[in-house]
Amino acid sequence: MAADLNAVYTLLQKALSPEDSMRKSAEANLTALESLPGFCSCLLEIIATRDLDDQSDARWLASVYFKNSINRYWRHRRDAPGIPYAEKPYLRTKLLGLIREENQKASIFCLHSLVDAQVAVQLAVLIAKIARIDYPREWQDLFPNLLQNLQSSDVLTTLRVYMVLYQILKELSTMRLAAHQQNFHTITSQLFDFTWQHWCADTQAIVNEFSAFLSSSDRFVSSTQTLPMILERWLLCVKVLGRMLVFGFPSDLNSVQVWLFLQKALLKLMKVLVTVQNHHPFSFSSELVLPPVLNFACDQITEQKWDTDLFEPFLMRCMHCVQQVLQCKAYRPSKTGRVLGEISLTRDETKAKLARQAEQLLSSLLDKKRVLLLCETLLRRYLVYTSKDLEDWAQDPEAFHHEQSLVQYHDKLRPCAEALYIGLFENHREVLTLYVVEVLQQVSQDCPPPEPDAIVQLSPALLTKEAVYAGIGLAYYDLHDYIDFKLWYEGALVKELRNLHPNNRLLRRRIAWLVGQWVSKIDKDLRRPIYVSLLRLLGDGDLAVQLAACHSLQTLIDDVHFYEEEFVEFVSPCLELLFVFMKNAQELDSKLQVFSLVTLIIERLGEKVVPCTEKIMIFLPQVWQSSEGQSLLKIQVVLALQRLVAALGSQSPCCYTLLVPILQHVTDVNQPDELNILEDGLQLWSTTLRHAPVMISELLVFFPHLVSALERSIDHLEVSMGIVESYVLLGGAEFLSRHGAGVASIFKMVIGHVKEKGTIRALSVLDTLIQCFPVDAPPLLEETLQSLFVIVINGRDESDAVRAMAGAILARVLVQNSNFFAHLSEQPSLSLKLQQSGVSLSASPVVLFFDSWLEKVDSLTTASKRKVCGLALCIWLTSREPLILDRLEQILGVCTSILEDEKSGVATGRSGYLCVRCFVHSPPSPSYSGDYNWQNTEDGSESFRKQQIINSDPVNNLSLAPLLKEQLRTCASLHGEAAFNVALSRLHPRLITQLQQL
């Protein structure tokens, strides 16, 4: 075998010789060998040999002789012996194996070699020749093997398999006997779906590769090296699919398979075009691309070539294509100019130039005639309700309304047509406004308003009129200056609303929707008649009409020009109609829409809704009980209660029977809906406390819910701190005695563990707590106060505002409870905590505190906090600490600055809620808990309670100057006049002048 192989290889090399005699002799010898057994096997071995670099031409010639031998000797004839049967299985197996074999770095069909590619074509052809003769009787595993090779992830392997597959299908498709056609149908059933999916994947890969290629700064990146092979495979897939589509299915007279494939193919191609335009708008705007694509899409929309119901997805893709081109921002030239003297165009200038070219091309493609034709087609064909729409409406009005309102434009034909209609108006307002006005006049003549008791026929004119009304609502912004809505409403629309015939529900629903669209053009004189009409529609027997009226009412009430006085008389009947509608509604979306309107009415009307409280309180429990498993509906109940409590103010206890159980449920972190409803529950809790006139035991009971909520997450820190503050202001000493430990754990969790905004909010509540309970609160908060020491002294991760505010709270403790401050500063645990934070205890914690804090006092902006700081510094002046005199200039500088601010009127606002006494000469009485009167206030609101605290704050009535003079005298007596005078001599002259003026 080796000798024969070498002999055949030598003859092939000689046959390629430029010498004529040698070439002819070799060709004659090769021709003589063709009929001998083993010759084809030798040729195949030569083709598969991979260890020689100079044999490419010989391999190609071997493939040619192999193909010729197959044509002449594969089929046995009487006059020729043919290739032995025993050799054929080896040849077939070896041929299929060559598809997978590779050279050192690539397949034998490597694209880098032109000769190798020619060999690949020859082998694909000869495999097809053998398949024509042997399949399926002698070569049953042919297509299973090919399909298995197609599973490979190697692009080159699958590319060559498709080349072979195409040649086989090309050969087999010419066999026209019934049995042969049946074989071809079987092959198609095995390969069609896989090939189709492969083609779709390659299509997406090509789009992605081009996007990455064009967006990359280096256009020769390695990711594009496989792109040529993917493109070639994509083309071969198209050819294979074409062969199977034409010859692999029965005639479409007897089968719909071809039609179904055609739908899939067209949808895929349109999707590819839309995707390419989105990613490469300037390349797509070429004169060779945009005109044929846009013309084709527009023609499909305007010409009734397809059954709309049968081919709806394709029409949607065409509309989407036109809409995307219309709204493409890249085709709108920018207004930027160009620098004089610049020769080359910048990137922005190049884009602007391409945008102008695209704009000019679009202007020629979408001329006035075509734009009007598109608009007319959309209004009179695609926006008109079909018989299927009317049937769906009759069967389930609620579901029909929500589908029309909520479905996206890419899901249904009608919303897609609406989106294209809006896009046309955005770009061609001047052309379309007058046309739509003319169409409105025409449909009004063709279908005049009926009499109130008239029978309305469901005629094409009525359906067209409804569609035109829809178009006017969609383009309301562009038609404001062309249609007098008041005149139109009073002249036609109100008459159409009065007719209650079932068929006229189309116009009643559309007019109700129109009112919501044109709300900005409804003036004060027209609002009352419209309120009357919409309330009448809320009682309409058709749920779709009622939902449209509900939507428009919500739009009117939420409008900036809504005035509560105009709607007061309608509040009670409106709520009654909404409550009845709520009982009849089955869809969750309907219930949510109704509840949203109820909540909005309560919010906008405020105190004016109080007379309807009894009706609301009868309605809300029923909804809450029926909302089991519907978190969104529960949230709406909670929101309505929150608005109602705010509207009732100090009268809110009248709804506690319902409110308290709901609060206890929605603030429980262990209930199933915690993730959905906890945030709104906390807001309701905060609103309830802010408007409560007195604290009741039921509200005190579930304060631990707040601790549990913060232990789980601090996402709701702002509202949680508000709740704590409200409990402090409302609950007084009883609250602190029952839940002091919980309050302390909250501050321990928050302070030092959240960002600046959250820390400042928590510190402000902590400040309020200490003001109201100067004796009882600090011992409970000892660990938190130690953390404040660390923040002030070693607050590397905290802002100046946080450190200043933390110092102000400790200063307040010193002023209001000096004994506890002394106890706190002497605790070994404080020293340990400071050391653990990296602080070197070079002095006492108190000295370290004042040294760090004096630098941050200027970050305080409120007069009350600055004044408390001045008082604390005055107290520290009487300390026996020897280092006091070294810091005398800093202390006096801060105190005189505060005094100067008081004189000049700077920072005189009272934003702190102080409840203090200045304990300078003696410690506070143990029974002291502030001057705030915890008796119930007549107003009952939290703002009034805060104002009471401010008014009872003795700090606001104290004068810092006399106190400072007295404390300086005490300081001199404690440290000695001589040492004190030496410290004074080191002061800045200006500071001495300010002290002399005290």
DSSP string, 396-448: -HHHHHHHHHH--TTTSHHHHHHHHHHHHHHH-HHHHHHHHHHHHHHHHHHSP
Query: Higher confidence at residue 935 or residue 429?
Result: 429
Neighbours of 796 (CB within 10 A): 8
According to the model, what pLDDT value does residue 938 have? 42
According to the model, what pLDDT value does residue 409 have? 63
Encoded tokens for 858: 């200027």
**Neighbouring residues of 262: CB distance < 8 A, sequence distance ≥ 6:** none
Tokens 């909302």 correspond to: 627
Helix boundaries (H) for 751-781: 756-772, 777-780
pLDDT tens, residue by residue, 563-575: 888 899 999 999 9
CA neighbor of 107 nearest in space, from 90, 120, 94: 120
Burial (CB count within 10 angstroms: exposed 0-12, middle 13-18, buried 19+), residue 838: exposed
Which region among 205-209, 579-583, 626-630, 890-894 has the lowest average model confidence (pLDDT)?
205-209
Give dist(CA 379, CA 373) in Å, integer.
10
CA distance to 124, 173, 243, 407, per residue, from 166 (Å): 9, 10, 8, 44
Q: What is the dihedral of CA 438, 440, 441, 442, to 10 degrees?
A: 90
State which amino acid sits at residue 356.
R
Give dist(CA 604, CA 595) in Å, integer.
14
Count how many Cα atoms sit within 13 Å of the Cα of residue 804 in the half-sphere of its side chain: 16
According to the model, what pLDDT value does residue 271 have? 80
Q: What pTM value is reported for the model? A: 0.69
Maximum pairwise Cα distance, the chain: 141
Judged by DSSP in three states, 527 sits in helix
pLDDT tens, residue by residue, 766-801: 999 998 888 899 999 999 999 999 998 887 778 888
Which region among 138-147, 554-563, 697-706 has the lowest average model confidence (pLDDT)?
138-147
Give dist(CA 159, CA 106) in Å, integer.
13
How far out from the chain centre does Cα 194 lie? 35
Query: Higher confidence at residue 602 or residue 264?
Result: 602
Encoded tokens for 650: 């100090």
pLDDT tens, residue by residue, 936-952: 444 457 888 888 777 77
Neighbours of 693 (CB within 10 A): 18
According to the model, what pLDDT value does residue 798 have? 85
Spans of all domains in the chain = 5-102+115-216+225-248, 778-907+941-997
**Neighbouring residues of 566: CB distance < 8 A, sequence distance ≥ 6:** 524, 527, 528, 531
Q: Are 437 and 482 in contact (CB under 8 A)?
A: yes
- Please tell me the chain's helix, strand, coil percentages from 3-state DSSP, rounded to the nearest 5: 75, 0, 25
Q: Are 450 and 504 in contact (CB under 8 A)?
A: yes
State which amino acid sits at residue 781.
L
Neighbours of 956 (CB within 10 A): 15
**Neighbouring residues of 729: CB distance < 8 A, sequence distance ≥ 6:** 768, 772, 942, 945, 946, 949
Q: Are 354 and 285 in contact (CB under 8 A)?
A: yes
How far out from the chain centre does Cα 44 lie? 60
Q: How confident is the model at residue 219 (pLDDT cuts 50, 70, 90)?
A: very low
Burial (CB count within 10 angstroms: exposed 0-12, middle 13-18, buried 19+), residue 391: exposed
Judged by DSSP in three states, 929 sits in coil
Residue 113 phi, psi (nearest 5): -120, 120
Across the strands, what pairs with 440? Answer: none
CA neighbor of 507 nearest in space, from 466, 548, 448, 551: 466
State which amino acid sits at residue 902.
E
**Which CATH architecture group holds 5-102+115-216+225-248?**
Alpha Horseshoe (1.25)
Residue 107 phi, psi (nearest 5): -70, 165
Burial (CB count within 10 angstroms: exposed 0-12, middle 13-18, buried 19+), residue 898: buried
Give dist(CA 672, CA 526) in Å, integer.
48
Tokens 């401010």 correspond to: 950
- Torsion-angle region of residue 333: left (phi > 0), alpha (psi -120 to 50) or beta? beta
How far out from the chain centre does Cα 752 lie? 32
The mean of the pLDDT values for the chain is: 82
Judged by DSSP in three states, 80 sits in strand
Give dist(CA 594, CA 600) in Å, integer.
10
Query: Higher confidence at residue 944 or residue 528?
Result: 528
According to the model, what pLDDT value does residue 488 have? 93
Q: How confident is the model at residue 884 (pLDDT cuts 50, 70, 90)?
A: confident
Q: How confident is the model at residue 422 (pLDDT cuts 50, 70, 90)?
A: very high
Which region among 360-364, 379-383, 703-707, 725-729 has the lowest average model confidence (pLDDT)?
360-364
**Arithmetic mean of pLDDT, 130-147:** 86
Across the strands, what pairs with 77? Answer: 80
Across the strands, what pairs with 80? Answer: 77
Question: 136: cis peptide before it, omega within 30°?
Answer: yes
pLDDT tens, residue by residue, 324-377: 898 888 887 765 544 444 445 567 777 778 888 888 888 888 899 999 999 999
Q: How confident is the model at residue 32 (pLDDT cuts 50, 70, 90)?
A: confident
According to the model, what pLDDT value does residue 507 have? 93
Neighbours of 467 (CB within 10 A): 24
According to the model, what pLDDT value does residue 308 have? 55
According to the model, what pLDDT value does residue 282 have? 82
Sign for the pseudo-dihedral over CA of 526, 529, 534, 537:
negative
**Arithmetic mean of pLDDT, 414-422:** 92
State which amino acid sits at residue 669.
V
Sign for the pseudo-dihedral over CA of 653, 658, 661, 666:
negative
The enclosing H or E element of 520 equals: none
**Neighbouring residues of 132: CB distance < 8 A, sequence distance ≥ 6:** 171, 172, 175
- % of the chain surpassing 90 pLDDT: 25
**Neighbouring residues of 235: CB distance < 8 A, sequence distance ≥ 6:** none
According to the model, what pLDDT value does residue 927 have? 32
Judged by DSSP in three states, 774 sits in coil
- Torsion-angle region of residue 732: left (phi > 0), alpha (psi -120 to 50) or beta? left
CA distance to 571, 637, 639, per residue, from 610 (Å): 10, 17, 16
- % of the chain surpassing 70 pLDDT: 87
Query: Higher confidence at residue 938 or residue 759?
Result: 759
State which amino acid sits at residue 748.
K
According to the model, what pLDDT value does residue 515 have? 93
Residue 375 phi, psi (nearest 5): -65, -45
Query: Higher confidence at residue 815 or residue 907?
Result: 815
Give dist(CA 777, CA 784) in Å, integer.
11
Judged by DSSP in three states, 9 sits in helix
CA distance to 110, 191, 829, 838, 928, per residue, from 824 (Å): 83, 84, 9, 20, 19
Q: What is the dihedral of CA 600, 602, 604, 609, to 10 degrees?
A: 150
Q: How confident is the model at residue 597 (pLDDT cuts 50, 70, 90)?
A: very high
According to the model, what pLDDT value does residue 998 have? 65
**Neighbouring residues of 11: CB distance < 8 A, sequence distance ≥ 6:** 26, 29, 30, 33
DSSP string, 104-165: SSSBTT-TT-HHHHHHHHHHHHHHHHHHHHHTTTT-TTHHHHHHHHHT-S-HHHHHHHHHHH
Residue 380: pLDDT over 70: yes
Query: Higher confidence at residue 336 or residue 32?
Result: 32
